[in-house]
Amino acid sequence: MAVGALTAIKLDALEKRVALLEAERSARSAPAQDRALRIREACKLMGWSYSLMIKTWQKHGFFKDPIDGRIKIFESDLITVSR
């Protein structure tokens, strides 16, 4: 086998390894999937008054889930919601 062919094989293997490492790194740094929290969970997590949020849920970014009819908020929206 010629030296040039051996170098090409090693280079190809190295490129594949770099691509694999980059894919693993981007998968680790990808944001977690945004999940919907029930109003009670969100209140407990943020230290909010459940009774106040029940009265004013629409003003604070909560929504009524069309599937189960429960009041929920996306985890990413908790940052923007003020008391």
Rg (CA), the chain: 24
Kindly compute the dihedral angle of the four CA atoms of residues 48, 53, 58, 61, in this order, to the nearest 10 degrees: 10
As a whole number of angstroms, the distance between CA 38 and CA 21 comes to 37
As a whole number of angstroms, the distance between CA 50 and CA 76 comes to 19
* pLDDT reading at 27 higher than 70: no
What share of the chain has pLDDT > 70, as a percent? 82
Mean pLDDT, the chain, rounded, equals 81
* pLDDT reading at 38 higher than 70: yes
* pLDDT reading at 1 higher than 60: no
Q: How many CB atoms lie within 10 A of CB 39?
A: 19
